[in-house]
Amino acid sequence: MGQAKIALGAWAWGNDATFGNNYSLDDLKPIFDTAMKNGLNLWDSAYVYGMGISEKILGSFLKTVPRETFEISAKFTPQCASMFKGNPVTSMFEKVPSCWELIL
């Protein structure tokens, strides 16, 4: 797999229409499939995108393709840190259902 030059952001996937429309799995799956088919394999995600819903949706799609066929760009959101005890980065990774749980 070559280095991806374009990332597809999943920030509006599964949110409450704050950033556009409220897309369903049926709306998003063809976008995912078309992107992967055409070599768009770098996916941008973050817990704050729909408070984990975006990651769950993306993860459900990613688990249908071989792991070596995609890359993920994920971010920690400091504004969400207060939700977690101890080390917020570790807690967020360990306790929040995300695309990581679904594909690893």
Compute the distance between CA of residue 15 and CA of residue 26 in angstroms, rounded to an integer: 15
How many CA atoms within 13 Å lie on the side-chain side of 102? 19
List pLDDT tens digits, range 52-95: 788 888 989 999 999 999 998 877 776 666 666 677 666 666 65
Compute the distance between CA of residue 40 and CA of residue 11 in angstroms, rounded to an integer: 16
Told to judge if 23 belongs to the known catalytic residues of this protein, a careful annotator would answer: no
- Edge to edge, what strands does the sheet with 7-9 contain? 7-9, 42-46, 71-75
List pLDDT tens digits, range 2-58: 676 788 888 777 766 555 567 788 989 999 999 999 999 999 988 777 777 888 889
pTM: 0.72
What are the structure tokens assigned to 47, written together? 């817990």
CB 100 within 8 A of CB 59: yes
The one catalytic residue in 13, 32, 47, 49 is 49
